Amino acid sequence: MPQRHRGSATSRSVWGGSLSFTSCTRCKRLIPLGTGTRCPGCKPKRVHTLSASRRGYTSEYRRNRAVVLADAPACTLCRRRPATTADHIVPLSKGGTNQLSNLRPACGPCNYGRGNRGYHR
């Protein structure tokens, strides 16, 4: 059998036809070409999330987000990067609102890194 390098394709004859395989990048099992880089056992499980409107990001949020980002171009958390998102001071899941008084400008890394944590002084 010829030596295979990581990620290289191999051809095998199956029922008179020819299929090409590659190895799973995680466990090295053979998987058919065109099905991704991981076998079904190694693929991450899909997480079904709700749409933005179902999570509480309404037209009020979009309007207020534009106002917050226009007023303050720098991230209020790190003060180093430009603000690209509006961060909820009190998260929606903890009873916060989409009002201007509950939004502050933040860069993506700071906002996404905070996750579901509220504001503590």
Query: Which candidate, 102, 111, 61, places its Cα nearest to that of 81?
Result: 111
Query: Which candidate, 61, 46, 62, 44, places its Cα nearest to that of 97?
Result: 61
Element (H, E) at 85: strand 85-88
pLDDT above 60 for 5: no
Predicted structure pTM score: 0.56
| CATH class in words for 59-114 | mainly alpha
Task: Dig out the tokens for 59 from the structure.
Answer: 């037209």
CATH 1.10.30.50 location in the chain: 59-114
Element (H, E) at 106: strand 103-106
Residue ranges with strand state E in the chain: 10-14, 17-23, 30-32, 85-88, 103-106
pLDDT 10s digits, 73-112: 899 999 999 999 999 999 888 889 999 999 999 999 998 8
